[in-house]
Structure 1
Amino acid sequence: MPPKSDPELTALRKELEELYKNLQEEQKKYQDGTLQELCESVGPAPKVRLTTRKLMKGHLNKVNSVHYSGDSRHCVTGSLDGKLIIWDTYTGNKMQIIPLRSAWVMSVAYSNSGNLVACGGMDNMCTVYDLNNKDANGVAKMVRELAGYDGFLSSCRFLNDKTIITGSGDMKICKWDLETGRKISDFIAHNGDVVSISLSPDGNSFITGSVDKTCRLWDVREEKPKQTFFGHDADVNSVCFHPSGYAFATGSEDKSARMFDIRSDQQIAVYKPPSQNSGFTSCGLSLSGRILFCGSDDNNIHMWDSLKNQHNGKN
C-alpha cells in the first residue's frame, strides 16, 4: 500500500506553492514588456541550417554528456560504454581514450585550460584526470576521486585548475579544492535534485537548474543564492548563461524553453515548438546569443530567434 500522506507536509507544500505564486505576481507588477515586444523593430535572424561538419565515431553506447575546453576545439565525451574520449573536433580525431571504473556517467567537464577533465554519475563520485600526465599504459592519470555524495553526480564544472563545483541528486552544491581533495563548501542548493550548472562568462557566478522547477543564481564565493527564478511547470533539465552574462536560457520537461533576465529578476521569454510533443533535455546559445538551440526527446534540435521568439526550424 502507498504510504499515507503527512498532513503537515502537505500543508507546508501548499504554503510553499502559494509563496511561489505570490512572488511571481509581485514580479509581474514590475514587468514593462516581454523580450519579443521590446524587439519588434529588430529584423528577423536568417534561417539556420545545421549541417554535419564532423561525425566523430568511437563510443559503443549512449553518449550522456559533452563539454568543450576553453579553446572551443577540443571536447570530452562521456558514454555508458565506460569511456571518456578527448576529441579534436576540427579533424574528428580521438586524442585520448580514458577507461572508467564506472560506466554510469552522467556529466563530464573540461577545464578551461585544457589540462583536466572530470566525470561522475551514478557512482556518487567526481573523478578528475590530468591529461598531461599518463600512467604506464599511456592513459591520462587519475588525480582525484571526490567522494561524499548522498546522491548521483548530475553536473560538474571547473572554476579553474584548482577548484571544481559539483551538483548532485542530494540537492547539494559542493566546491572542491583539487590540490588537497577536500571540500571547500557543501550546502543545500535546491528543494530537489540539482540537474544542471552553467558558469557565467566571467567565471564569478553560476546558474543551477533543478527538478524543483526553479533556477538559482549563485556567487562562487557564497553559499546562499543571490536570486531564485520561477516559471517552469516541471523539471529544469538544462541551463545556459547568455554570452552577455546578464541573462540565461533554460530547457525543461514542461515542453518549453525560456529566457530569464538577471537584472530584472524575472522571465522575459517563453519558447515553444509548433507541436509540443516532448520535453527539452538540453539547451545552448549561439556565440552572439541570438539563436537558441534545444535538444528534445523527439530526437530533434529545435531552434529559435531568441529576440523575435520565432521558431527557426528543427534538425
Structure 2
Amino acid sequence: MPPKGDPETEALRKELESIYQKLKEAQEKQADVTLESACGDVADAPRVKLSTKKMMKGHLNKVNSVHYSGDGRHCVTGSLDGKLIIWDTYTGNKMQVIPLRSAWVMTVAFSESGNLVACGGMDNMCTVYDLNNRDASGVAKMVRELAGYDGFLSSCRFLDDTTLITGSGDMKICQWDLETGRKTTDFNAHLGDVVSISLSPDKNTYVTGSVDKSCRLWDIREQKPKQTFFGHEADVNSVCFHPSGYAFATGSEDKSARMFDIRSDQQLALYKPPTPNSGFTSCGLSMSGRILLCGSDDNNIHMWDTLKNQHNGTLNGHENRVTSISVAPNGLAVASCSWDQHVRVWG
C-alpha cells in the first residue's frame, strides 16, 4: 500500500474525483423531471400513525442490528452484550438467546425461511446458526464460521438457506455456499467500506451502499457493477430496495435520505427532516413503497411520503441513537433497535 500523501496516489485520487464529477454532471443533464412534480396531482398520503406495540427488553448493551424473518413475526437482534436474541414480536417474548464468541456484532440477518440467522462484526467473520438444531446446552447450533475478510463484517443477507452475501470493511463483497462453507465469489465492490446490502424482490440483483458516498447495483451472477449512483455527500449508511424492484432508497450520514430510479439511472428525490441536524443510520420502505422510514442518530425514526416528498411524521420513543430498522415482510410492523438497549415494534 503506498504511503498516505504519496504523489501518485493523490494524482489518481484527483483523477477519479474528476471522473466522478463528469459522470454526475452527465446524469444531471438527463434529469428532466422530479418525482414530486410528476406526482403533483396525486393525493397526499394520510398521516401515518404508528405507536410502540411491543417494547422488548433483554439486551444489556447497545443493540446494533435487527432483521425480520420471512414470516413477519420473528426477528433477530445483535448487541454489544455478545448475544443474539430471537424475538416473537407478537408477544414480545424471547424465543432463543444465542451467546456469541465475539461481542462486537455489527450486522445480523434472518433467512427468509426462518431456519438460519447470521451475524458478524469486528471479529472479521460471519457466523451462521441453525435455529432448528440445538447443542447439548440447548443453544442454536453454529453451522458455519465464514472467515477470510481483511476488514470488519458490515452487512450480510441470505439469498436462501444455502447462499449468503456479505459486505465488509475491506471494500469487498463475498458470496458463500453454506453447504460447503466455501466462498464462491470475492471481489472489490467499492472504494471504501461496504456498509449495507439490500436484495431486490426477485433476488436476482442487489444494491450496496458504501462510505465512498456511492451506491451500486449488482447482478448475482456478475462481479462488475451494472450501475453506480452518485449524489450523497457522506457515507451511505443504509440502502433499501423499493418493492417494485425498479428503485431503491438510501439513508446517509449527510443528513438526507434519497430515492434512486434504476431504469433512468437517476436520483428521483431528496428527503430531509424538518430539522436536519443528524445523520441517518438505516432506512426501510412500506409494502407499497409510499412511505419511507429512516432511523436517525437524533433518537427518532423519520417518515416521508415518497411521491409528494412530504415529511409524514416522527416515531419517538428511543432514548439514544436508532441503529437499525427492519420492516416486516407482510408490511404490518416495523422493528427498531437502539443504543438505549431496547428493541421496539411499531404498528
TM-score (normalised: structure 1): 0.98
Partner of 1:172: 172
Give the Cα–Cα distance (whole angstroms) in 1 for the partners of residues 28 and 167 of structure 2: 30
Partner of 1:54: 54
Give the Cα–Cα distance (whole angstroms) in 2 for the partners of residues 98 and 198 of structure 1: 25
Tell me the matched-pair count.
313
Determine if the alignment matches structure 1 residue 220 to structure 2 residue 220: yes
After superposition, the C-alpha distances for 1:238-257 in whole angstroms (9 at most, x for unaligned) are 00000100000000011100
| Paired residue secondary structure (2:55) | coil
Partner of 1:300: 300
| Paired residue secondary structure (2:56) | coil
| Paired residue secondary structure (1:53) | strand
Partner of 1:231: 231
Partner of 2:339: none
After superposition, the C-alpha distances for 1:271-302 in whole angstroms (9 at most, x for unaligned) are 01121111111111111110111111111111
Give the Cα–Cα distance (whole angstroms) in 2 for the partners of residues 257 and 312 of structure 1: 14
| Paired residue secondary structure (1:175) | strand
Name the Cα RMSD after superposition: 0.9
**Counterpart mapping for 1:198-213 below 5 A:** 198-213=198-213
Quote how far apart the aligned CAs of 1:56 are.
Answer: 1.0
| Paired residue secondary structure (1:13) | helix
- Structure with more contact order per residue of length (Cα contacts < 8 Å, sep ≥ 6): 2
Give the Cα–Cα distance (whole angstroms) in 1 for the partners of residues 50 and 70 of structure 2: 23
- Amino acid paired to 1:231: G
Partner of 1:195: 195
Give the Cα–Cα distance (whole angstroms) in 2 for the partners of residues 298 and 11 of structure 1: 38
The change in CA–CA distance for 1:138 and 1:217 in structure 2 (over 3 A counts) is same
Give the Cα–Cα distance (whole angstroms) in 2 for the partners of residues 76 and 142 of structure 1: 15
Quote how far apart the aligned CAs of 1:304 are.
Answer: 0.6
Give the Cα–Cα distance (whole angstroms) in 2 for the partners of residues 276 and 209 of structure 1: 21
- Amino acid paired to 1:170: D
Partner of 1:153: 153
- Amino acid paired to 1:188: N
- Amino acid paired to 1:230: F
- Amino acid paired to 2:173: I
Partner of 1:141: 141
Partner of 2:342: none
Give the Cα–Cα distance (whole angstroms) in 2 for the partners of residues 242 and 96 of structure 1: 31
Give the Cα–Cα distance (whole angstroms) in 1 for the partners of residues 223 and 291 of structure 2: 32
Unaligned runs of 5+ in 1: none
| Paired residue secondary structure (2:53) | coil
Partner of 1:78: 78
Quote how far apart the aligned CAs of 1:49 are.
Answer: 2.1
The change in CA–CA distance for 1:106 and 1:4 in structure 2 (over 3 A counts) is closer
Give the Cα–Cα distance (whole angstroms) in 1 for the partners of residues 14 and 313 of structure 2: 39
- Amino acid paired to 1:38: A
Unaligned runs of 5+ in 2: 316-347
Partner of 1:257: 257
After superposition, the C-alpha distances for 1:42-79 in whole angstroms (9 at most, x for unaligned) are 01011112200111111111110000111111110001
Give the Cα–Cα distance (whole angstroms) in 2 for the partners of residues 296 and 113 of structure 1: 29
Determine if the alignment matches structure 1 residue 277 to structure 2 residue 277: yes
Partner of 2:338: none
Give the Cα–Cα distance (whole angstroms) in 2 for the partners of residues 220 and 191 of structure 1: 20
Give the Cα–Cα distance (whole angstroms) in 1 for the partners of residues 28 and 276 of structure 2: 26
Give the Cα–Cα distance (whole angstroms) in 2 for the partners of residues 5 and 161 of structure 1: 45
Quote how far apart the aligned CAs of 1:4 are.
Answer: 6.3
Give the Cα–Cα distance (whole angstroms) in 2 for the partners of residues 5 and 220 of structure 1: 36
Detail structure 1 runs of 4+ shifted over 6 Å in the superposition: none
| Paired residue secondary structure (2:52) | coil
Give the Cα–Cα distance (whole angstroms) in 2 for the partners of residues 106 and 283 of structure 1: 16
| Paired residue secondary structure (1:22) | helix
Give the Cα–Cα distance (whole angstroms) in 2 for the partners of residues 166 and 4 of structure 1: 28
Give the Cα–Cα distance (whole angstroms) in 2 for the partners of residues 275 and 143 of structure 1: 46
The change in CA–CA distance for 1:38 and 1:91 in structure 2 (over 3 A counts) is same
Partner of 1:100: 100
After superposition, the C-alpha distances for 1:185-229 in whole angstroms (9 at most, x for unaligned) are 100000000000001111111100000000000011111111000
Give the Cα–Cα distance (whole angstroms) in 2 for the partners of residues 139 and 223 of structure 1: 37
Quote how far apart the aligned CAs of 1:31 are.
Answer: 1.5
Determine if the alignment matches structure 1 residue 125 to structure 2 residue 125: yes
| Paired residue secondary structure (1:123) | coil
Give the Cα–Cα distance (whole angstroms) in 2 for the partners of residues 275 and 9 of structure 1: 39
- Amino acid paired to 2:254: D
Partner of 1:287: 287
